[in-house]
Amino acid sequence: MPDITGHRGIGVAPGPLYLGVTSSDTRDTALGAAPAPDRQQLSSLRVAAAIIALALGGFAIGTTEFVTMGLLPEIATGIGASIPSTGHIITSYALGVVIGAPLIVSLGARLPRRELAAGLVLALGVGNAVTALASGYDHVMFARFLAGLPHGAYFGVASLIAASLVPPDQQGRAVSRVMIGLSVGTVIGVPVSTWLGQSFGWRAAYWFVVAITVVTAALIMWAIPHVRGDKTATVRRELEALRRPAVLYAVATGMIGFGGIFAMYSYVSPLVTEESGLSIEAVPLVLLAYGVGSVIGSWAAGPLVDWSINRTVIGSFVVTALALVLVLPFAGSAAATIAIIFVVGLLGSMLSISLQVRLMRAAGDAEMLGAALNHSALNVANGLGALLGSLVISAGWGYRAPSLVGAGLAVGGLAIFLFSLWVLGRGAQRQRCDDIAPSPEQA
């Protein structure tokens, strides 16, 4: 099945590596294009350092987003609420991402990208500090909303910076290297912070994230040269991307389909302790399995996305749905449950990165908004999955039931994506016919 976008790269012209610019006059169609006077050729070592700095921001985000799920019982005890009710703080974080991504990106499109990225990381640190200091259910809910605001906007600007550093045939890889920071966060950051939360109180996990954000902001300012902001950018131009059918279909795909993963993962701690018979001390190791899968998936996603976005999305959805269905018969086996969680982590990363690059392509001049919208969509999925999971648990169906709900959401996301390919393919075919049809005068 061909890619509707019609090209392999994201749009930056080939040539030497430049920060924010290309070596030709195709800047207007290039992802990450910055004003022409700021041409700066970078060495491969400097490019690697810049991407590592950006990936560390993803590490902080991955840690703070997923550690809440691993510490849900401890947080519930600490704030005097039930586990299903405490699961709503995951939804609150997701709501912050959904609102913050388009709002911050649209308002900050004219700002220098390095400074914007560093500022967003520090804002993430502030949100986590407020979480660590919060007392009571309502205060924690607000703090997680605040922490979620910079999430999507950060990945939007970070992905755009990364894509601007490399030739077109490597841009999927560059974006995946930034996103791999989020996956490494689930491998190292989440188990470490979960252990800190279990050993020293759940607030220690969020102080750990605060420390990471301070280091990250300093590295971004050091590793990435200053490039002036795009003074031609306007809020209207950025939001114009929301009128593009390809953008809306991709957002809907992520909103519904990725909810399948979060329906299961939001309640992974009680799943493995109540259904698989593992001790609470084993939860960090289970989270490690998910994280290892995420890292492998992020690494594999780069070349796969550069090969075909559509095939990557379709394959990821199919395997994810099958894996989630298998939770029902095999949750009683600890080994089988851990294997399924590993596979879900692997496919989730591949799906996230492929949808991110598709949105960057589809958004036209508003590439940064397109990249940010992917995280809005995925965090709607985060909230939706956690909410539906809490409903089936509260209904007495047990901790295996959210995985079945998740499989249904994954199938729904696949259906939306396939429908979008059909609709957009028909539109492209009609456009080609219009382009070659003779005008009335010629006829």
Higher pLDDT, 8 or 120: 120
Q: pLDDT per residue over 32-84, tens digit each?
A: 444 333 334 567 787 888 899 999 999 999 899 888 877 888 888 888 787 77
Please answer whether residues 300 and 393 qualify as being in contact, where contact means their C-beta atoms are separated by less than 8 angstroms: no
Q: pLDDT per residue over 251-271, tens digit each?
A: 899 889 988 888 888 888 888
Q: pLDDT per residue over 341-370, tens digit each?
A: 999 999 988 988 888 888 877 776 677 777
Tell me, what's the pLDDT at 439?
Answer: 43
State CA 356 to chain mean position distance.
8
Q: Confidence band (pLDDT; 50, 70, 90) for 184? A: confident
Cβ neighbours of residue 440 closer than 8 Å, sequence gap 6 or more: none
Q: Confidence band (pLDDT; 50, 70, 90) for 440? A: very low
Tell me, what's the pLDDT at 207?
Answer: 95
CA distances to 57, 101, 109, 111 from 153, rounded to whole Å, are 12, 4, 10, 13
Cβ neighbours of residue 202 closer than 8 Å, sequence gap 6 or more: 71, 74, 75, 78
Give the C-alpha separation, 118 to 439, whole Å: 53
pLDDT (average), residues 413-424: 91
Q: Confidence band (pLDDT; 50, 70, 90) for 433? A: very low
- C-alpha dihedral (191, 195, 198, 202), degrees to nearest 10: -70
Please answer whether residues 327 and 403 qualify as being in contact, where contact means their C-beta atoms are separated by less than 8 angstroms: yes
Tell me, what's the pLDDT at 286?
Answer: 85
Closest CA to 283 of 272, 294, 267, 295: 272
Judge if pTM exceeds 0.75: no
Tell me, what's the pLDDT at 430?
Answer: 56
Strand partners, 18: 41
Q: State the average pLDDT for the chain.
A: 80
Give the C-alpha separation, 125 to 216, whole Å: 10
pLDDT at 409 over 90: yes
The domains of the chain are located at 38-431
Tell me, what's the pLDDT at 41?
Answer: 58
Higher pLDDT, 429 or 140: 140
- CA dihedral (201, 202, 206, 212) positive or negative: positive
Assigned fold of 38-431? Growth Hormone; Chain: A; (1.20.1250)
Closest CA to 293 of 261, 256, 252: 261
Lowest mean pLDDT among 13-17, 64-68, 193-197, 381-385: 13-17
Q: Confidence band (pLDDT; 50, 70, 90) for 213? A: very high
pLDDT (average), residues 165-169: 75
CA distances to 103, 150, 168, 322, 329 from 99, rounded to whole Å, are 6, 9, 31, 32, 38
Please answer whether residues 76 and 221 qualify as being in contact, where contact means their C-beta atoms are separated by less than 8 angstroms: no
Lowest mean pLDDT among 26-40, 300-314, 320-334, 371-385: 26-40
Tell me, what's the pLDDT at 288?
Answer: 82
Q: Confidence band (pLDDT; 50, 70, 90) for 89? A: confident
Q: pLDDT per residue over 123-144, tens digit each?
A: 999 999 999 999 888 899 999 9
Closest CA to 341 of 390, 275, 398: 275
Closest CA to 388 of 419, 417, 410, 355: 410
Tell me, what's the pLDDT at 407?
Answer: 93
